[in-house]
């Protein structure tokens, strides 16, 4: 993914394709991780799960961003963590931030690769 693209753009691309291509939509529902990896042209980390759900007229899904310290009482979030839960980051930045330490996070490329130089 290029530096200017992010999670929102990737999600939009996947949704648009699923609306135009019924076989892709079925694949997203049956094997969401495989379908996303195919679209990205890259494998996602083993520990990353991808779930696809289909809304109906009676059900709306609201997806909240993860917080690194979810459930930890009395723990303050860093500015970077607060920005990520406030929607200030991109998919790649959030993924990189969750797998890198503070020193390399500023060097994240946005494609699940953290550089240290």
Closest CA to 15 of 27, 4, 25, 5: 25
- Where does the chain show beta strands of DSSP type E? none
This model's pTM is above 0.75? no
**Rounded Cα–Cα distance for residues 53 and 60 (Å):** 10
Check residue 2 and give left, alpha or beta (phi > 0: left; psi -120 to 50: alpha).
Answer: beta
Q: What is the pLDDT of residues 25-65, one digit of tens each?
A: 999 999 999 999 999 899 999 999 999 999 999 999 998 88
- In the chain, domain spans: 1-63, 66-117
Closest CA to 85 of 102, 97, 67, 73: 67
Q: What is the pLDDT of residues 61-100, one digit of tens each?
A: 998 887 766 556 656 656 665 655 554 444 455 455 444 5
Closest CA to 14 of 2, 6, 23, 25: 25
């Amino acid at each position: 993914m290029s530096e200017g693209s992010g999670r929102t753009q990737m999600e939009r691309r996947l949704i648009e394709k699923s609306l135009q291509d019924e076989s892709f939509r079925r694949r997203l529902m049956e094997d969401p991780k495989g379908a996303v990896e195919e679209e990205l042209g890259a494998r996602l980390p083993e520990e990353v799960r991808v779930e696809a759900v289909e809304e109906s007229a009676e059900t709306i899904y609201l997806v909240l961003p993860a917080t690194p310290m979810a459930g930890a009482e009395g723990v303050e979030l860093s500015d970077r963590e607060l920005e990520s839960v406030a929607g200030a980051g991109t998919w790649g930045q959030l993924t990189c931030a969750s797998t890198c330490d503070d020193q390399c996070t500023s060097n994240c490329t946005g494609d699940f690769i953290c550089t240290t130089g």
